[in-house]
């Protein structure tokens, strides 16, 4: 299968091919194709005769039918979707719910359009119409979604896929056999239900950009075909404190790389005294074709800084509290989705920001640097709460600093005249979105060659709602509470020492920060445009 996403024509052709079996079966049924009609009548007559003299068998299949109702299959999909939503796999969640909704709506529509009566000798009462079988369609959609598409998209191991696949296939057969055994549906009604389920799964999978076949077979690499080119190599830099189940994480990442033809990855763990600098240098020495980094914003910042101007693509796997760079590059927070989007993604040159200040060696950041209140909030967020509840721990830091004093600063942007302000905080950003999709710098772009600056300066606590409203509504009007600027170089001089931060990491108090853009310094691996 092609490694690249299909073209619009290819996607349309796939949808048509997925719907073709349903179209063919429907035409054969309602054109009364003799072989199919004889098969329907023969099986219906045998089922009626067999059930008429075996009431216990009919009772058994009635019990089975009560268990494998269409709403049972839909409920299973909803439960799995709720689990995926909790795992923040939003794309797969919506795909499952849309597939279930499409199944419900299309079954009703097909039955209403064709109004085919149930077999005359049905062994139990049946409402509605016979074509298509709602039981068969719902079971097929559930089985296809949970047993075929979902495991392959999420990269589950073959053994586990079989453990899921076999039971759901059994459910399809049982639900379909129940309808035939009770003589409620013809064989063609069941076949039409399966075909409709196939059409639904094909259309929704293509519509949501899922390509399950990619994970089932290992792609041939140039070295396998002609023996001249080595397979690509990846290095994985991990902050073990931020990654929960290290063994499961390693297994998933290794598998995702393997199926795409990568050599055995180089695994590098950060240390307490090194957040990733030495590991990034080792990845460079290893001549890695891709570096994956999983950790907090601090780990990501250090690795990106070390890989600046090397041209080696960096893929950010969300694993920390903020994951701000991943969020701004539209990388999903779910591990399986993130691996899918990164490894199937494209390379994009983005800017980095060179920064230095008093008591601070020259460094780089990829997201934001701040001086004042924002840095104080980050510094006062309890580490144990950050580990337990994520970025919402910053609310504790915010509560501690609700009366954080303002400070006099002098702001110099490029070669312009310095600007004097009394502020609560100054933030210099390469990207604009905070957690919870708060647009702190709504015009910031990671590849525009510009720095975006926001100066926040409410005089009293009661003025904070005005600031928050302006942030959430992306109001561009400047006033005494909130101002924004852009430039290539920004220097901030504070009258007194205040807290400072780089990409969510506190760097201690100081009075000076100088930030200068480095256009296109980093090659980032990002999801492909849809």
What is the edge-to-edge ordering of all strands in the sheet holding 451-456? 482-487, 451-456, 425-429, 368-372, 500-502, 505-506
Q: How confident is the model at residue 3 (pLDDT cuts 50, 70, 90)?
A: very low
Whether the Cβ atoms of residue 204 and residue 95 lie closer than 8 Å to each other: yes
Residue 220 has pLDDT above 70, yes or no: no
For residues 123 and 59, the answer to whether their CB atoms sit within 8 Å is no
Give the tokens for residue 158.
Answer: 């073959």
pLDDT over 80 at 332, yes or no: yes
Which domains are present in the chain? 8-215 (no CATH), 223-352 (3.40.50.10330), 360-518 (2.60.200.40)
Is the distance from CB of 190 to CB of 176 less than 8 angstroms?
yes
Q: What is the pLDDT of residue 319?
A: 82
Helix (H, G, I), strand (E, B) or coil at 461: helix
Backbone angles phi, psi at 298, to 5 degrees: -65, -45
Q: How confident is the model at residue 436 (pLDDT cuts 50, 70, 90)?
A: low
**H or E segment and range at residue 427:** strand 425-429
Q: Is the pLDDT of residue 219 over 50?
A: no
- The dihedrals phi and psi of 117, each to the nearest 5 degrees, come to -70, 155
State the pLDDT confidence band at 466, using cuts at 50, 70 and 90: confident
Element containing residue 510 per DSSP (H, E)? strand 510-526
E strands present in 466-509: 482-487, 489-498, 500-502, 505-506
pLDDT tens column, 296-321 = 888 999 999 999 999 999 999 988 66
Amino acid 127: pLDDT: 84
The pLDDT of residue 169: 87
Find the mean pLDDT for residues 358-368.
91
Query: Which residues, other chains included, contact 357 with Cβ-Cβ below 8 Å and sequence gap of 6+?
Result: 500, 510, 512, 513, 514
Q: What is the DSSP string of 369-426?
A: EEEEHHHHHHHHS-HHHHHHHGGGGHHHHHHHTTTPPPEEEEEEETTSPPEEEEESEE
pLDDT class for 87, splitting at 50, 70, 90? low
29-38, 281-290, 431-440, 511-520: lowest mean pLDDT where? Answer: 431-440
Q: What residues are paired with 359 via a beta bridge?
A: none
Measure the CA–CA gap between 104 and 506, rounded to whole angstroms: 52
Answering whether pTM is above 0.75, one says: no
Q: Give per-residue pLDDT as tens, 155-194.
A: 555 566 677 778 888 999 999 999 999 999 999 999 999 9
Query: What does the pLDDT look like over 119-147, one tens digit per residue?
Result: 988 899 888 899 999 999 999 999 888 87
Q: Which residues make Cβ contacts (< 8 Å) with residue 328, sequence separation at least 6? A: 367, 431, 432, 433, 446
481-526: pLDDT as tens digits:
889 999 999 999 999 999 999 988 889 999 999 999 999 999 999 9
Separation CA 530–CA 526 (nearest Å): 12
pLDDT of residue 396: 75
């Amino acid at each position: 299968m092609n490694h690249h996403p299909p073209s619009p024509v290819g996607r349309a052709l796939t949808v048509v091919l997925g719907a073709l079996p349903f179209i063919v079966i429907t035409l054969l049924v309602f054109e009364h194709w003799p072989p199919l009609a004889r098969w329907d009548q023969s099986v219906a007559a045998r089922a009626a005769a067999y059930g008429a003299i075996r009431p216990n068998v009919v009772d058994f299949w009635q019990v089975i039918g009560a268990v494998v109702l269409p709403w049972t299959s839909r409920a299973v999909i909803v439960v799995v979707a709720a689990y995926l939503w909790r795992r923040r796999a939003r794309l797969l969640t919506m795909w499952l719910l849309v597939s279930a909704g499409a199944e419900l709506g299309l079954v009703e529509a097909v039955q209403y359009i064709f109004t085919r009566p149930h077999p005359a000798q049905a062994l139990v009462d049946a409402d509605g119409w016979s074509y298509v079988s709602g039981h068969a369609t719902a079971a097929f959609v559930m089985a296809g979604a949970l047993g075929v598409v979902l495991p392959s998209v999420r990269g589950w191991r073959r053994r586990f896929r079989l453990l899921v696949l076999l039971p759901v296939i059994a459910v399809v057969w049982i639900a379909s056999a129940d309808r035939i055994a009770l003589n409620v549906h013809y064989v063609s009604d069941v076949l039409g239900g399966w075909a409709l389920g196939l059409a639904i799964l094909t259309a929704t999978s293509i519509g949501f950009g899922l390509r399950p076949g990619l994970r089932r077979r290992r792609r041939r690499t140039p070295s396998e075909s002609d023996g001249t080119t080595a397979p690509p190599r990846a290095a994985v830099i991990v902050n073990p404190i931020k990654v929960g189940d290290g063994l499961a994480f390693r297994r998933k990442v290794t598998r995702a790389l393997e199926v795409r033809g990568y050599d055995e990855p180089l695994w590098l763990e950060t240390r307490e005294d090194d957040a990733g600098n030495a590991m990034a240098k080792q990845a460079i020495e290893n001549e890695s074709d891709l570096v994956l980094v999983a950790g907090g914003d601090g780990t990501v910042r250090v690795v990106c800084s070390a890989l600046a101007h090397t041209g080696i693509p960096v893929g950010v796997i969300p694993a920390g509290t903020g994951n701000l760079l991943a969020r701004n590059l539209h990388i999903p927070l779910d591990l399986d989705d993130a691996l899918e989007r990164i490894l199937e993604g494209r390379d994009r040159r983005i800017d980095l920001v060179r920064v230095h200040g008093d008591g601070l060696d020259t460094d780089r950041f990829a997201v934001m640097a701040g001086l004042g209140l924002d840095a104080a909030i980050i510094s006062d967020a309890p580490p144990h709460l950050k580990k337990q509840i994520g970025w919402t721990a910053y609310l504790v830091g915010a509560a501690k600093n609700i009366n954080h004093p303002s400070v006099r600063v002098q702001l110099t942007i490029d070669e312009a005249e310095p600007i004097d302000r009394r502020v609560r905080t100054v933030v210099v950003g390469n990207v604009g979105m905070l957690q919870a999709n708060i647009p702190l710098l709504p015009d910031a772009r990671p590849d525009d060659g510009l720095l975006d600056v926001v100066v926040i300066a409410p005089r009293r606590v009661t003025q904070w709602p005005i600031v928050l409203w302006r942030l959430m509504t992306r109001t561009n009007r400047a006033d005494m509470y909130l101002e924004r600027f852009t430039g290539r170089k920004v220097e901030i001089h504070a009258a007194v020492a205040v807290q400072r931060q780089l990409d969510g990491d506190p760097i201690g108090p100081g009075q000076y920060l100088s930030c200068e853009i480095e256009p296109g310094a980093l090659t980032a691996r990002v999801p492909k445009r849809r």
